[in-house]
Structure 1
Amino acid sequence: MFFGPPPIALLADMTSIPTPGIPRILHQTWHTFPVPIETGDTASWQRLNPRWQYQFWDDTALRDFMAGQFPQLLQVYDGYAHPVQRADLARYCLLKHFGGVYADVDTRCLQSLEPLAGDPRVILCEEPRDRQHHAHRRGLPALLFNGTMASPAGHPLWDAVIDHCLRMSSRTTGHVLETTGPLILSAAVAQWAQPDEIALHSSHLFAESDSDRCPPAERFGPFRDLCVSQHFWQGSWFRERPPHALKRAVTKLRKLRHRLRGRRPRLAALRARMDETLLHREIPADERFPKVTILIPVRNGASTLARNLDAILGLDYPKNRIQIVYGEGDSSDETPEILKGLIARHAATFAGMRRLETRRNAPHFPHARRWRPAFQAKRRAGLARARNELVRQVLADDSDWILWMDADVIGLPSDLLTALLAVREKIVTPDCVLEPDGPSYDLNAFLDIGEPGEVEYMRHVRGGIFQPPVNYWARRHLDDLRYLDRVPLNGVGGTVLLVRADLHRAGLLFPETPYRDLLETEGLGQLARDLGIVPVGLPSVQVLHDRQ
């Protein structure tokens, strides 16, 4: 048994340890050795597992290990803003290289690890029930605990987990939970194609607290009768302070002003106007190459229309199943003439290609200032009117799907339509970026991951609609969620947006007055969700937007 940071010679010896199944190696990490007694009970692990090689890794030894065995990850490892992110990445690497059991120091071992020795599977457990909402909000089945894990050496699952960390490596200052922590592990496991290689358990196995604050509703997993360890749960992901009296008073005034702006449509009234049967009609199981109408609202799109059409021509979807409809109005450049030429040259390539005239009936804002919060309510209401006018004019067609697309989208993956349709959901959107793997450009596509208090919420209601800052803590955009293949959304963007045509025919249109303080595409996404139709985002499918 070894106590303290491992010498380099011992590291070399460990690489040659035969490891059928889970080897008898126990890893713990902390900044320095010894660990402060109030932090955790490291002695319990050594006392109850005398046959196990105990490996303690301080910061220096851990970095030496990463430099020696995973040099390709060292730049990412060193670049993390938080020490716990380095500890997370390193624990996955330790289990990949050596195998064994990894346990956080803020734990106590309750019984021997011997029942786990030699097991060929990765052994994991869920976090307690009161933390599962972090996973469920993102569409994951469960939030898994990465504070204690067991694995054979060399298991390929850890390659997938490490790859997920790399996908999120640009978020060096992001929240640990979704850059290296439990959400990363949970996503990799949910996407793993060989579930028999992973033994999942309720939180009883590794993650029960010393106060038993939230025991699982029912124990499950191959080791349902085993309770190996307790976790002390010394940290907290979110801390909120109650607002003081002045902020509460200001909030009351903001709410009053908000109410005076006019009545807002309620869900029941909107639902009563819709055809519920059409709204919830299932997508046919045998639907192959359905008819798609690409709707392109455009005003002053002269600089990008040709490149936009080139991107559409590059789709590998049968062109005789696509029609393109441009909704053009209020242009002051050569857009009408360019559209006329494009239609003349390419109409025969598609099932149809035409221009419809639409009027936005909204004030024009200077291009450089159109994003200002003061302009958004009028601007987005005008966009909603233009979209609704356009879609009403094509609903008589027999299209199965509507693909909304902005005229300044200039890059599409060739399999875009195939990828969106394969999701088999009624509202689907890819991530719109200015450069491959860059930040999301279309910030109207978002997931709400938290619920702000009234004071905080009203602070961000401007011009009658909710306009939080870009990096708002309770909201995630698609570039924040690239560890997921697909994710449920609250708001959707319109740069590229696939909508089942039945939804529009049923009466689901873009809110022209705020619905739950959201307009246009954002409002459509939230309204659809409230009607039981959850929009889906695909963070790994990217389309390119012009930089102008």
Structure 2
Amino acid sequence: MQRFYCWGPAKSPMHMTANENEEWYRHRQTPVIFNPHKPIVINDTSINYVNLNGIYSTVDAIKKQERVLILTPMREASKHLPQHFDLLSSLTYPHELIDLAFLVGDSEDDTMAALAKELERVQGNPEVAFHSTMIVAKDFGVRSSQEVHDRHSFEAQGPRRKALARARNYLLATALRSEHSWVYWRDVDIHDSPPEIIEDFILHDRDILVPNVWFHRYREVGGKMVDVEGRFDYNSWQETPESLKVVANVEKDKDFILAEGYKNLKIFGLRNHMALQGDWREDKDVEIPLDGIGGVNIIVKADVHRSGINFPCYAFENQAETEGFAKMAKRAGYGVYGLPNYVVWHVDTDEKPGNA
């Protein structure tokens, strides 16, 4: 057996006095413990912290409680509001995960009052109330008539599309918040659409997705009223070799805006229009890639907008507003798709003969 000499008091360290403990450890350096993960606490209430790392757009949107922002720009639209809110109320996506925002501008009718009353009616009903609602008032100096022959005339398209693009951008910049995963652009004059449209579109997991847009028009044929199922939105299209040749010539004038569906332009009829394809009786999940889209009904992953893809109020590749939005998104590498067999029904409009 070896002999060992014990330095210090013959007692447990737990039983040492303060002086004995100091005597025992005085030959050592003072220990320093570093904790690199110690949080920094900021108590200044003027500093806000936003973490976008946890905001995703996934096919499990309901399960993951992903928030949807529904945006609707409108002008002199009071007559469409009752139907619009009836359709919104019927949406099956959980209303507590939906925020509504509207922009009202350049209206001379009672759109603002009618909108406020409809929102009060819906939000006052706990069974259909949405998470939040917002009304944005902004005029852009538009004075053209809302009559079909005026607002759908060829001459009005350039200025009208630029003004619409500005309205969409103002609404988006004001209403989009950090918690939103999806942005749903929905026009006020939709006549009918499936209640489960949000879930249906989210399942496709596309950056930008639009349906086909048709309208009902009843005519008497052989003594019976027949639904002709008219095609409405000619702004959703695919480029063709023939149309690209026209676009190449037009590109010389960087400020010229192509308006689809008008016989005044040489591009009329050269693009493949989704409105002329598909059938609502067929498989609704069939997809096709698109180069331009209409604005009646668009579902967008919110990060597409956060990345700076908005609605150009100028000529972008000779397109503006929603068609320019599609061109810009594709240039940035995002996917733009349409569902030719998934039909949303627009109110009927009586177009000028010869135009699509």
Q: Which residue of 2 aligns with 1:448?
A: 239
The alpha-carbon distance between structure 1 residues 451 and 309, as it changes in their structure 2 partners (threshold 3 A), is: same
The count of corresponding residues between Structure 1 and Structure 2 is 269
The answer to whether structure 1 residue 364 and structure 2 residue 165 are counterparts is: no
Instruction: After TM superposition, list the pairs within 5 Å mapping 1:326-405 onto structure 2.
Output: 326-347=102-123, 348=126, 349-365=129-145, 367=147, 368-405=149-186
Q: Which residue of 2 aligns with 1:464?
A: 256
Look up the SS of the partner of 1:518 in the other structure: coil
The answer to whether structure 1 residue 304 and structure 2 residue 80 are counterparts is: yes
With a CA cutoff of 8 Å and minimum separation of 6, indicate the structure with the bigger relative contact order.
2
Normalized per residue, the structure richer in helix is: 1
Off by >6 Å, runs of 4+ in structure 1: 459-463
Aligned partner (choices 171, 184, 192) of residue 411 of structure 1:
192
CA deviations on 1:287-320 (whole Å, 9 max, x unpaired) are 4352111101111111111101101111221111
* TM-score between both structures, scaled by the size of structure 1: 0.46
* TM-score between both structures, scaled by the size of structure 2: 0.69
CA deviations on 1:373-411 (whole Å, 9 max, x unpaired) are 222111110000000000000123511111111111121
Q: Which residue of 2 aligns with 1:431?
A: 212
Report if aligned partners of 1:296, 1:407 keep a CA contact under 8 Å in 2. yes
Q: Which runs of 5+ in 2 are unaligned?
A: 1-51, 217-226, 350-356
Look up the SS of the partner of 1:303 in the other structure: helix
Aligned partner (choices 495, 501, 515) of residue 296 of structure 2:
495
Q: Which residue of 2 aligns with 1:545?
A: 346
Aligned partner (choices 489, 496, 513) of residue 314 of structure 2:
513
Query: Distance in 2 between the 1:545 and 1:528 partners?
Result: 25
Query: Distance in 1 between the 2:288 and 2:228 partners?
Result: 17
Look up the SS of the partner of 2:180 in the other structure: coil
Q: CA deviation at 1:350?
A: 0.8
Query: Distance in 2 between the 1:494 and 1:360 partners?
Result: 19
The alpha-carbon distance between structure 1 residues 501 and 511, as it changes in their structure 2 partners (threshold 3 A), is: same
The answer to whether structure 1 residue 479 and structure 2 residue 275 are counterparts is: yes
Aligned partner (choices 294, 306, 316) of residue 92 of structure 2:
316
CA deviations on 1:180-224 (whole Å, 9 max, x unpaired) are xxxxxxxxxxxxxxxxxxxxxxxxxxxxxxxxxxxxxxxxxxxxx
Query: Distance in 2 between the 1:366 and 1:345 partners?
Result: 27
1:394 is matched by which residue type in structure 2?
Answer: A
Q: CA deviation at 1:286?
A: 4.4
The alpha-carbon distance between structure 1 residues 358 and 537, as it changes in their structure 2 partners (threshold 3 A), is: same
Report if aligned partners of 1:374, 1:462 keep a CA contact under 8 Å in 2. no
Instruction: After TM superposition, list the pairs within 5 Å mapping 1:192-231 onto structure 2.
Output: none
Q: CA deviation at 1:438?
A: 2.6
Q: CA deviation at 1:467?
A: 3.1
Query: Distance in 2 between the 1:496 and 1:365 partners?
Result: 23
The alpha-carbon distance between structure 1 residues 450 and 322, as it changes in their structure 2 partners (threshold 3 A), is: same
1:446 is matched by which residue type in structure 2?
Answer: W
Q: CA deviation at 1:519?
A: 0.2
The sequence identity of aligned pairs, in percent, is 26
Look up the SS of the partner of 2:198 in the other structure: helix
Report if aligned partners of 1:420, 1:428 keep a CA contact under 8 Å in 2. yes
Query: Distance in 2 between the 1:532 and 1:437 partners?
Result: 38
Q: CA deviation at 1:451?
A: 3.9
Query: Distance in 2 between the 1:523 and 1:510 partners?
Result: 6
Q: CA deviation at 1:463?
A: 7.7
The alpha-carbon distance between structure 1 residues 542 and 384, as it changes in their structure 2 partners (threshold 3 A), is: same
Q: CA deviation at 1:329?
A: 1.5
